[in-house]
Each structure stands twice: as structure tokens, then as C-alpha cells.
């Protein structure tokens, strides 16, 4: 598909038409080959104006997360440099996991327009309608002990947080990895990993971000929101995706250079969690208390009747 990206590169941002002969000579291919690429692009949703004797002009681009479109907004060293695009998958985490098992490079990402079996935390499903949101999974190979992996969940929620804040929105972090706006969930992360007894082989960080979804199904209507709903305008998903990947790489570099404890501190500060009263339900048991912050492995420290309990997983209700 590089050829298509090259042809688009010639046409994008030009008011004038570009001749097939010019593109063919620059790409060192025949005019028929250029024409075939243009046909392929039309099938993908791009539109062109063709004027006899003058050539082609790009008149429209589809709202699709094609790698070369996300790539226009990508300023990373390795995260998303290999970007696998799928129209529809069961789960981008599943695809990324298979790629990781097959030895793909660190930073390889999978994006899809829809998921038929999007996975959420605690065996929940992630509502994944076509062409509206971001469903993204990234393969990382951190040099961590399995017990240190949990805080990696914070790098994605921090990355989402910064992306939304730079769009002028006011996100809020909810432990362990939700991002909310106006009290409703806009993004979540599901981490899946493969490890040996004392070494992580790889981690798949799966991020769901509701971008342009206007209608929520009844099950999530009172709990979820999207960027479109809160700001009453659509967002360019390719740009949001590029920014998000940039922020993800930045926080991952923080883990690599300063350790997981550093990212826990950043998350704790952004979430403003210290001193907050919390109720966390974990496997049927509810812990209540005042938070003393986040431990270096990502657990919440809850002061309950004088004693401090570490809660490593669960759902926060308050
Ligand atoms: C949560 O329950 O909050 C986590 C939701 C994670 C959803 C994302 S969408 C992309 C990736 N693929 C999946 O199947 N799940 C994650």
C-alpha cells in the first residue's frame, strides 16, 4: 500500500491537478499502474476530480484509520511505526497478541474500525461500533518482572488524559485505568500479557476511546460518553490516534528510564487520589477508606479504621 500513500502524497494539499504522467515518472511506474492505484484508492473511499489534459485532484478522503493517514500525525520513534489496519476484527488485543507471539517488533500497533468481540476488564465486553471510535492495541516488550506490570496500565490512561487535555477537554482519571469526562467513561484499557516465572515476554496494551459515537446502547447509556457528545463536534480520529500513540511512547519511555514507580507518581498526581474517600469492590468484597495514594506496584493504599490495606484490582464505586 506504500504506492497508494505515495500517490496520495502527490495529490494532497494541492489545489492544482497533477498529471498521471508526472506521477508515473516520479514513481518510476507506468501510467496504467498509476491509474490502477487511483482506482484502488477510490474503492477505499477517496474521491478525485479528473480533468482531461490536466490530471487528477484529490477532492475527498474517507474517515478511516489507514496507517498512512494516522502516520501523518505520528511523531514517534517506534510506537505505531508498524501499524496494522483491519476493517473489522473480533478484538484488536487478540490480533496484537498473535503478532507478538510471532515475534513482531516492539511498538507494533493494531487498529480496527470495528470489533465484534471487544474485550473489557473483568470479562466485560467493549461496545465497538464501526468507524466511530478508536480500538487500538500496542505490543510492548518491557524488561520488567511480572509483578511490576500493573502500573503499565497507567501509561495508557495518562496518554489518553494528555491527548484529551490538549484538545481542551477536562478528563478525569479513575483507578485503575478509566478516563472519564463529565462523570462518564470515555476510555478504558485492557492489558494482557505473556510471561515466564520471572520475566515478561510481552504486554499488549489495548485502548478503547469513544470518539465520534453519538448513540450508546441501553446497557452503557448512563455510564459512557464520547468526545462528540461532550464537545458537540466530531473529531478527526487519525489525528487523535497519532497524538495518543505519541503520548503512549512518552510515558513508556518514562517507565524505561525512571521505572514504574515514576509513572505511578504521575498518575497519582493527575488523578488527585490522595485523601479521597474510596469504595473499591474486589471479588465480592468492598473496601472502604481514605486513599493514601498509589503504591509502587499500582495498588491503591486505603486507610480503613487505622489500618492501611493494599487493593490491587477491583472496581471503584466512589
Ligand atoms: C475496560 O474495561 O475499561 C477496558 C476496555 C478496553 C477496550 C479496548 S478496545 C481495543 C482493545 N481490544 C479489546 O478487545 N479491548 C481493548
Name the phi and psi angles at 293, rounded to 5: 100, -160
**Would you list the domain boundaries of the chain?**
3-60, 67-270, 274-317
Give pLDDT, residue 220. Answer: 85
Instruction: State the average pLDDT over residues 123-141.
Output: 96
3-state secondary structure of 134: strand
Give per-residue pLDDT as tens, 249-267. Answer: 999 999 999 999 999 999 9
Level-2 CATH architecture, domain 3-60: Orthogonal Bundle (1.10)
The answer, yes or no, to whether residue 269 has pLDDT greater than 90, is yes
Q: What is the pLDDT of residues 70-83, one digit of tens each?
A: 999 999 999 999 99
Q: Which segments of 197-276 are extended strands (E)?
A: 199-209
Q: What is the pLDDT of residue 218?
A: 84
Mutation pick for ligand 1 pocket among 111, 135, 138 (CB with most ligand atoms within 8 Å): 135
Q: Indicate which residue's Cα is closest to atom 9 of ligand 1.
A: 208
Mutate to test the pocket of ligand 1, among 126, 186, 205, 237 (most ligand atoms within 8 A of CB): 126
**Could you tell me the distance, in angstroms and rounded to a whole number, from the CA of residue 137 to the centre of ligand 1?**
8
Q: What's the CA angle centered on 282, arms 278 and 288, to 5 degrees?
A: 25
CA 90 – ligand 1 centroid, Å:
11
Q: pLDDT category, 244, cuts 50, 70, 90?
A: very high
Confidence of residue 144 (pLDDT cuts 50, 70, 90): very high
| Topology (CATH) of 67-270 | BirA Bifunctional Protein; domain 2 (3.30.930)
* Mean pLDDT value of segment 288-303: 91
The pLDDT assigned to 270 comes to: 95
- Supply the CATH classification number for the domain 274-317: 2.30.30.100
Lining ligand 1 with CB less than 6 A are 91-93, 115, 118-121, 124, 126, 135-137, 178, 188-190, 206-208
pLDDT of residue 317: 79
Residue 318 has pLDDT above 70, yes or no: no
Amino acid at each position: 500500500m506504500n504506492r497508494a500513500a505515495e500517490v496520495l502524497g502527490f495529490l494532497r494539499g494541492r489545489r492544482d491537478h497533477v498529471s498521471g504522467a508526472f506521477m508515473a515518472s516520479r514513481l518510476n511506474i507506468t501510467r496504467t499502474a498509476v491509474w490502477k492505484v487511483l482506482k484502488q484508492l477510490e474503492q477505499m473511499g477517496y474521491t478525485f476530480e479528473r480533468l482531461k489534459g490536466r490530471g487528477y485532484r484529490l477532492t475527498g478522503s474517507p474517515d478511516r484509520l489507514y496507517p498512512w493517514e494516522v502516520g501523518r500525525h505520528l511523531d514517534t520513534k517506534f510506537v505505531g511505526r508498524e501499524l496494522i489496519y483491519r476493517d473489522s476484527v473480533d478484538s484488536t488485543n487478540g490480533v496484537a497478541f498473535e503478532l507478538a507471539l510471532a515475534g513482531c517488533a516492539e511498538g507494533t500497533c493494531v487498529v480496527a474500525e470495528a470489533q465484534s468481540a471487544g474485550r473489557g476488564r473483568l470479562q466485560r465486553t467493549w461496545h465497538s461500533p464501526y468507524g466511530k471510535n478508536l480500538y487500538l492495541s500496542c505490543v510492548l516488550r518491557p524488561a520488567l518482572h511480572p509483578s511490576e506490570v500493573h502500573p503499565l496500565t497507567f501509561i495508557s490512561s495518562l496518554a489518553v488524559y494528555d491527548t484529551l487535555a490538549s484538545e481542551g477537554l477536562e478528563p478525569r482519571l479513575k483507578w485503575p485505568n478509566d478516563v472519564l469526562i463529565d462523570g462518564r467513561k470515555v476510555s478504558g484499557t485492557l492489558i494482557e500479557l505473556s510471561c515466564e516465572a520471572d520475566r515478561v515476554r510481552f504486554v499488549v496494551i489495548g485502548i478503547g476511546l469513544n470518539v465520534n459515537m453519538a448513540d450508546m446502547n441501553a446497557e452503557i447509556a448512563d455510564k459512557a460518553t464520547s468526545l462528540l457528545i461532550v464537545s458537540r463536534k466530531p473529531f478527526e480520529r487519525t489525528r487523535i490516534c497519532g497524538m495518543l500513540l505519541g503520548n503512549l511512547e512518552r510515558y513508556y519511555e518514562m517507565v524505561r528510564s525512571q521505572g514504574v514507580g515514576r509513572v505511578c507518581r504521575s498518575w497519582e498526581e493527575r488523578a488527585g487520589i490522595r485523601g479521597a474517600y474510596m469504595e473499591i469492590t474486589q471479588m465480592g468484597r468492598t473496601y472502604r477508606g481514605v486513599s493514601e495514594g498509589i503504591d509502587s506496584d499500582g495498588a491503591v493504599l486505603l486507610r480503613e479504621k487505622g489500618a492501611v490495606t493494599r487493593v490491587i484490582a477491583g472496581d471503584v464505586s466512589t
